Amino acid sequence: MTVGGKHVVVRPARQIGGSLRLPGDKSIAHRYAMLAGTADGTSVLRNFASGADCASTLGCMAALGCAVVRDADGTVKVEGRGRGLKEPSGPLDCGNSGSTMRMLAGILAAQPFATEMRGDGSLSRRPMARIIEPLGRMGASIAGEDGGRPPLKVRGGALHGVEHQLTVASAQVKSCLLFAGLLAEGVTAVEEPQRTRDHGELALRAFGAEVTRERNRTTIRGGQPLHAIDAYVPGDISSAAFFLCAAAMLPGSRLVIDGLLLNPTRAAILDVLAGMGATIRMLEVEERHGELVGTVQITGGKLSGARIAGAQTAALIDELPVLGAIAAYTNDGIEVRDARELRVKESDRIAVLATNLRAMGVQIEEFEDGFRMAGKQRPHGAKVDPAGDHRIAMACAVAALGAEGDTTITGADCVGISFPDFFSLLERVAIR
């Protein structure tokens, strides 16, 4: 692999081998940092996520008056201010991070001051009506541009609990409303159409709040105090997915990842890969602050294929690009449906993935809500452009490992959004 400026050249690999431990999970790190800021005392968050997205959250918390210290070993300390965040002196910069904007808006909605939240070009195109409407019903006033796009002007105030039915399965919106509900008067209930990741619920409990769940309905009572925690953020399973998929698709690969997040609402990628024929063993599984953590060993083999739809699509939402990347190397192909949400992620992930895989010679059928690729195709190296989307850049790198010839990924430094060390770790485990 050659890294030149923002271009990375990925050479094909025979196998993946070795062992890895990954930086902390992005979803959990965002939530821990936000709740730490609204807790009493100083929280110590070990193995914090290393990417720019969680740095955006830390920057916002610092701007809201929480002292944030980051050590070289990945430990972050956040001083909590209880309910009383400080009015920031200017707009909050959420960078590329939809999680920062959507979830933090729930906390800002309850503060006695107005805040503006901004983001980069990609974030400025993402839909925010899904939080603006329910937070408005709770008593906040939030104004967006152009039918509910960032920047957002949040005028906080006294909130009251509401019942809210999510129209799209979104864990960010669920967490946003639970965070607002914690700071509201009365009870807030959020009902989701499909079960999404439950880190918001687990994090609230870890910080001392009571959250109840009955089927897909989650309830929180307002006014509960939070206390600081000392926690280890488990390795990011959505980052691991790139290595797991690469190992699964290259027969003879054997990879071990320890300290990995294995929360059942996030681990669907393991079921899919095992269902297609990879051999997966889970060892030393334990619970930390409500989250399951353990060691995964994967052995690659001939993969069959998969059809992913409905609740499984929601559970795999961040892993769909990399499943698309390995589809051509399977026996029977992969079809993904019910994935309209992919079109409003950091990029239109269906369109950008399709364009790049086509450049690599893959035949792909694109649907409004997904894609289908036949198996037994023979991708070749190409010049690809992930359009600034970190998960598309990493998915292209995985596709490149099985292709004939080298692949050049332009603008590859976008992996820094979630996984700055991705290419160096890939180089460490790629066997040529």
Residue with tokens 């400025």: 124
Q: Between 200 and 305, whose beta carbon lies closer to ligand S3P?
A: 200
Known catalytic residue at 93 = no
CB atoms inside a 10 Å sphere around CB 208:
15
Q: Between 224 and 265, whose beta carbon lies closer to ligand S3P?
A: 265
Q: What track of x and - describes contact with ligand S3P for positions 101 through 130 (by CB under 6 A)?
A: ------------------------------
The distance of closest approach from Cβ of residue 420 to ligand S3P in the complex, given in angstroms and rounded to an integer, is 17
Binding ligand S3P by CB under 6 A: which of 15, 43, 96, 99?
99
Give the separation between CA 424 and CA 146, rounded to whole angstroms: 40
The distance of closest approach from Cβ of residue 179 to ligand S3P in the complex, given in angstroms and rounded to an integer, is 12
Give the separation between CA 31 and CA 57, rounded to whole angstroms: 9
Binding ligand S3P by CB under 6 A: which of 15, 97, 122, 172?
172
Give the separation between CA 155 and CA 116, rounded to whole angstroms: 9
- Known binding residue 147? Answer is no
The distance of closest approach from Cβ of residue 197 to ligand S3P in the complex, given in angstroms and rounded to an integer, is 6
| Residue span binding ligand S3P (CB under 6 A) among the ranges 133-141, 166-174, 246-254, 282-290 | 166-174
**DSSP type of residue 265:** T
Which residues, including other chains, have CB under 8 Å from residue 265's CB and lie 6 or more apart? 195, 196, 197, 198, 315
- Known binding residue 318? Answer is yes
Using CB atoms within 10 A of its CB, is residue 5 exposed (0-12), middle (13-18) or buried (19+)? exposed
Q: Are 415 and 17 in contact (CB under 8 A)?
A: no
Give the separation between CA 192 and CA 127, rounded to whole angstroms: 18
Query: CA-based angle 257:377:320, to the nearest 5?
Result: 45
- 25, 53, 120, 318: which is the annotated catalytic residue? 318
The distance of closest approach from Cβ of residue 28 to ligand S3P in the complex, given in angstroms and rounded to an integer, is 8
| Residue span binding ligand S3P (CB under 6 A) among the ranges 40-48, 76-84, 168-176, 356-364 | 168-176
Give the separation between CA 85 and CA 208, rounded to whole angstroms: 19
Binding ligand S3P by CB under 6 A: which of 318, 319, 385, 413?
318
Residue 313 touches ligand S3P, criterion: CB under 6 A: no
Binding ligand S3P by CB under 6 A: which of 77, 164, 197, 390?
197
Binding ligand S3P by CB under 6 A: which of 33, 45, 131, 317?
317
The distance of closest approach from Cβ of residue 122 to ligand S3P in the complex, given in angstroms and rounded to an integer, is 13
Which residue intervals of 1-86 are DSSP H helices? 26-37, 52-63
| Residue span binding ligand S3P (CB under 6 A) among the ranges 8-16, 42-50, 87-95, 167-175 | 167-175
Give the separation between CA 273 and CA 245, rounded to whole angstroms: 7
Q: Between 119 and 379, whose beta carbon lies closer to ligand S3P?
A: 119
Q: Is the peptide bond before 386 cis (omega within 30 degrees of 0)?
A: no
CB atoms inside a 10 Å sphere around CB 63:
19
User: What does each C-alpha distance from 425 to 51, 106, 133, 274, 431 come to in angstroms?
Assistant: 15, 36, 42, 23, 12
Name the token pair of 220: 């929180």
Q: Between 56 and 172, whose beta carbon lies closer to ligand S3P?
A: 172
- Known binding residue 31? Answer is yes
- Known binding residue 391? Answer is yes
Half-sphere exposure of 109 (CA within 13 A, CB side): 33
- Known binding residue 27? Answer is yes
Residue 390 touches ligand S3P, criterion: CB under 6 A: no
User: What does each C-alpha distance from 14 to 247, 325, 328, 402 come to in angstroms?
Assistant: 10, 16, 16, 8
Give the separation between CA 93 and CA 118, rounded to whole angstroms: 5
Beta strands 279-288 and 291-299, pairing class? antiparallel
- Known binding residue 26? Answer is yes
Q: Which of 133, 201, 142, 117 is nearest to 168 (CA)?
A: 133
Residue 27 touches ligand S3P, criterion: CB under 6 A: yes
Binding ligand S3P by CB under 6 A: which of 170, 239, 295, 347?
170
Q: Between 20 and 29, whose beta carbon lies closer to ligand S3P?
A: 29
The distance of closest approach from Cβ of residue 341 to ligand S3P in the complex, given in angstroms and rounded to an integer, is 6
Residue with tokens 């006033």: 141
Q: What track of x and - describes contact with ligand S3P for positions 319 through 358 (by CB under 6 A)?
A: ----------------------x-----------------
- Known binding residue 253? Answer is no
User: Which residues are annotated binding-site positions for 3-phosphoshikimate?
Assistant: 26-27, 31, 170, 172, 318, 345
User: Which residues are annotated binding-site positions?
Assistant: 26-27, 31, 98, 126, 170, 172, 318, 345, 349, 391
Active site residues: 318
Residue ranges binding ligand S3P (CB under 6 A): 27, 99, 170-172, 175, 197, 317-318, 341
